[in-house]
Amino acid sequence: MARVHVAELHPHERIVEERVEGLVAYLQALDDVVIPCVVACRRTGMIIDGIDGHHRHAALQRMGWRFIPVLYVDYDDARIADANGNAKSGVLKRCAAARTQGYELFAPKTTRHVIETCGGHTVPLLVLAPLVCMTPQTVECI
């Protein structure tokens, strides 16, 4: 896990404004924020966490957080796939990466990144991310 400046992360999907606003309201009501790390590509900084990583990133950024917890993974790893597309072709993965470089962002929830386990099952990529308890000044794994 790394503490990363929000500007170093790059979305590839648009967000749903109402979802971000609701998340901001929820997080502001807490004394301590406890959320999973955002999962991102180590090489590009692209957000690839398939369960609200884009919304968590946007909410924390709007709340004025400069640094957020990130779990970096190797997005080129063949075990990481998109559950909505052809997992092995890599076409959707390349398109997602291109979307972070000035192309139009995908619609919300276009990709659902998963990882193949040792037993051959696929699970959401988010299961790799530790939960963290954080304030704007500190981030701790729990």
Q: How confident is the model at residue 5 (pLDDT cuts 50, 70, 90)?
A: very high
Look at residue 88 in the predicted model and tell me its pLDDT. Answer: 45
Beta bridge partners of 133: 34, 140
With H, G, I as helix, E, B as strand and everything else as coil, classify residue 62.
helix
| Residue position matching structure tokens 């924390």 | 60
Q: Which domains does the chain have, with CATH numbers?
A: 2-141 (3.90.1530.10)
Contact 134, 70 (CB under 8 A): no
Q: Could you tell me which of 113, 91, 1, 107 has the C-alpha nearest to residue 46?
A: 113
Residues sharing a CB contact under 8 Å with residue 40, sequence separation 6 or more, in sequence order: 4, 9, 46, 47, 48, 49, 53, 70, 71, 72, 73
Question: What is the per-residue pLDDT across 96-135, written as a single tens digit (0 to 9) for each?
Answer: 666 666 667 778 887 788 888 889 888 888 888 888 887 7
Q: How confident is the model at residue 17 (pLDDT cuts 50, 70, 90)?
A: very high
Q: How confident is the model at residue 59 (pLDDT cuts 50, 70, 90)?
A: very high
Question: What is the per-residue pLDDT across 27-54, written as a single tens digit (0 to 9) for each?
Answer: 999 888 888 889 888 888 888 866 678 9
Kindly provide the residue ranges of all beta strands, DSSP E only, lying in 9-60, ordered along the sequence: 33-36, 38-41
